[in-house]
Structure 1
């Protein structure tokens, strides 16, 4: 079975909902990611609390790769949502700054496009749990736009 992700993106944009798209991408589905708008209308990526995502059971804390994946996912979805195209951006690089341990609770991420050129986009993302002013991690990513 061949998936036409471009068609799913177009459908999601038309419906103003990324639920179908998020369920179609296997890693997004594994993480249980959902999207919603915050009070200001900004797009939020939500990672639910799930024991399978714990990387350090002694603390306990989320696995760093899961936090990085949340930030990358928020950046990708923000680019798709803001773009005029239905193509999926290709990651060039991603730098993650881990600022504090992320407890295994519901975690949020918001991405901001800092530069959107014809071929390259720069995106900044932050993840937090209880307070957006106290992020657990931040990332800067570059994407190739097709």
Structure 2
């Protein structure tokens, strides 16, 4: 089994995304507010927030597939992000949940939050094609 942090993409590493821990078997990812993720002054850039959501979704799917002994190339069919409130100058977290895992595609929902887990700042719905290797 590989170290989950080495599975992060170069983009994820470049903005400081890290594996913070695990909840209910799902990786929780996080990053700190830095100039690399700042959009308008004192606020997270939407692209950085989206990147965190996407990375958390893929991390969960890879972990689940690995546990089932399945290997696939993952290709996005559709990723929809909904921004609910502006991210501020604090740590941002994200965690995904698989809503459907079939033979050829998966649906994942992901939430990002800062201070209050019950008040997400953004959500994503991901539909991923799992191509055989």
The structural deviation recorded for 1:20 is: 1.8
How far apart, CA to CA, are the structure 2 residues paired with 1:68 and 1:32?
Answer: 14
Runs of 4+ in 1 over 6 A off after TM superposition: none
How far apart, CA to CA, are the structure 1 residues paired with 2:55 and 2:89?
Answer: 18
Partner of 1:142: 127
The structure-2 alpha-carbon separation of the partners of 1:45 and 1:88, relative to structure 1 and needing over 3 Å to count, comes to farther
- Relative contact order (alpha carbons < 8 A, sep ≥ 6): 1 or 2 greater? 2
How far apart, CA to CA, are the structure 2 residues paired with 1:93 and 1:51?
Answer: 29
Aligned pair count reads 128
Greater helix share, structure number: 1
RMSD: 1.5
2:49 to 67, 72, 97: 67
1:90-143 CA-to-partner distances (Å, cap 9, x unmatched) read 111111110000013210000000000100100000000011101000010100
1:45 aligns with 2:56: no
1:30-49 CA-to-partner distances (Å, cap 9, x unmatched) read 11111132465531011222
TM-score for the superposition, normalised by structure 1? 0.81
How far apart, CA to CA, are the structure 2 residues paired with 1:85 and 1:119?
Answer: 11
TM-score for the superposition, normalised by structure 2? 0.88
